[in-house]
Structure 1
């Protein structure tokens, strides 16, 4: 008699959970997601427990899985506390507590020997005077928790700006980061098993638009030593934090080649979506393998590839602007990934991956692809 299929629970049922489940199925893994949204994208390819993240019955079902992982970092900590000691949760509460709180994250990065932009923690209004000068006179004020895709942050260049931004963000605990003159934004994922086996993903170059990732490209146009340094830093964070599962580091690369970590996501990341179609193991399979303790190795695309996000965009009349799907399908090397989500301005609705035989062809086709997506 064959052994029972491994089971994986996921806290969250959005598009990342959907793609994790799609990567798990060919490995013989059954997936269950706990997600309150009745229209959760992952419901189409996984068992969907429609309930709050802290629902006792839902958590009881997840606790029966072989392991549990996270789709996003804003999972309520009481949900993790309820699972503690009953089922392995990877990444665990310690990694989550660091990565969901910007101040704790930056302090933990520095403790692991990783550089960050200059920052000051602002917890009350009396912390504001002189704070901007400490980070170089210009900065970004970010809420310590719950910010993502450009939300929960305001650019400031004067003390008056800072006071206004503090009020705009609700006078909640924040981190004031100094602006960094970077040449490019990069990202790299690292996975680690419970036994300490580490595997690393590819270095990817990213471009943002209005605070939301627009394009990711592999390989990046970075100095030769950059990837080796990024891998070194990612390994230091994974081992220093006792990671079990997968996390993604976002970097600023400075003019001299130095890397600073901007943010850490304790999960698969939008910039890694291109690994789905570039050949080899995807970031989603890597997370499944790391969480369940399956054989794990470094992963990277076998061919040059890119990703363009499909985000809800409205025209001057307020009506949705849609990609030219027919032209996208006709462009060589494209593959469409839609999330089955209702249109909303600023919402991530899908992405298009592009694969090419060489870097020059990739860049040529990427220009064409971007012109087809608002």
Structure 2
């Protein structure tokens, strides 16, 4: 989707990805090699800028490129975002509030950590893990010990639960000159740790929207971001925002920007990486996104029925279908938020079969 957004700007992408079925192979020069492959990195170093679409890139790869080609976001930003404890400390330093947490390096720290966060929390590996992977809910010391062992006994963060009223997210793009552009404040619903749907506008107040922008700007400037990052928030009943996670890239919740009118998050990311003029990428119309997860054999969704719902547009990734894997999404646009929500319900019913 980054490559597709780049083409109308006169930009062609080169993608280093070991998967022979990498979706970007259809619209970009695909270097099928390991992320640390010397020849592949040499080819990337000849580009105008290098960006990424997931943060679990080996540090060896970014180290090999640093100083040879603009890396956007920088290795310094990746160093913070790749590790939950470093990320939370850096967010707090930038003025953002985070949930109560404790860092756990060995099993003997679990009891004190559980007490610190209030006796109930989410144990997450400090590195890797996404879409509900690498984490477990715990409510006792026995739970914590069992979960820590299941997670491999690696460095973890125990996060306290937050009494939020909704989950929202917002993207921010920052150019090399420090200019900023903001995406929508999207309202998100998760199921089994995986984002199920996002909708714009969120039910948040204008004041909360303003706070989200201010926090995103503060973090982007404090981290000296060049590129695009997305902040996920817990919104409290007071309208206050707690940063849950940060992704130094385009984000699933921002996919709805493709079809709501205006600039998409993907174009914004390309523009920020190359130092092109930026503009806010908040949609012009109410819109939403429903994720398409892989299906059991013989139970492929009825695409024709989905296409017949007014205001819908599906985006399939050309990935092999596996239950629970994100293989596409359906964007929905309408004249009102109620119309969008009704159409999203119809899409979701068809996807659930």
Residue of structure 2 equivalent to 1:30:
12
Rounded to whole Å, the distance in 2 between the matches of 1:105 and 1:35 is 26
**CA contact 1:312–1:321 (8 Å) conserved in 2:** no
**Residue-by-residue CA offset, 1:152-172 (whole Å, 9 max, x unaligned):** 000000011011111111100
**Does the alignment pair 1:328 with 2:306?**
yes
Q: Give the superposition deviation at 1:360.
A: 2.0
**Does the alignment pair 1:354 with 2:332?**
yes
Q: 1:1-374 counterparts in 2 under 5 A?
A: 19-314=1-296, 319=297, 321-374=299-352
Rounded to whole Å, the distance in 2 between the matches of 1:359 and 1:130 is 45
Rounded to whole Å, the distance in 2 between the matches of 1:156 and 1:201 is 34
Q: Structure 2 stretches of 5 or more lacking a match? A: none
Q: Give the superposition deviation at 1:129.
A: 2.1
**Residue-by-residue CA offset, 1:46-97 (whole Å, 9 max, x unaligned):** 0000010001100000000000001100000110000011000000101111
**CA contact 1:312–1:320 (8 Å) conserved in 2:** no
TM-score when normalising by structure 2 = 0.98
**CA contact 1:119–1:177 (8 Å) conserved in 2:** yes
Rounded to whole Å, the distance in 1 between the matches of 2:48 and 2:332 is 35
Residue of structure 2 equivalent to 1:4:
none
Rounded to whole Å, the distance in 2 between the matches of 1:39 and 1:367 is 31
SS at match of 1:337: strand
SS at match of 1:163: helix
Rounded to whole Å, the distance in 2 between the matches of 1:240 and 1:324 is 47
Rounded to whole Å, the distance in 2 between the matches of 1:139 and 1:78 is 33
**CA contact 1:21–1:45 (8 Å) conserved in 2:** yes
Q: Give the superposition deviation at 1:255.
A: 1.1
TM-score when normalising by structure 1 = 0.93
Query: What is the number of residues matched between the two proteins?
Result: 352
**Residue-by-residue CA offset, 1:107-143 (whole Å, 9 max, x unaligned):** 0000001001000000112211221110011000000
**CA contact 1:138–1:178 (8 Å) conserved in 2:** yes
Q: Give the superposition deviation at 1:223.
A: 2.1
Rounded to whole Å, the distance in 2 between the matches of 1:313 and 1:111 is 43
SS at match of 2:177: coil
Q: Give the superposition deviation at 1:283.
A: 0.1
SS at match of 1:280: coil
SS at match of 1:297: coil
Rounded to whole Å, the distance in 1 between the matches of 2:298 and 2:72 is 38
Q: Give the superposition deviation at 1:320.
A: 5.3
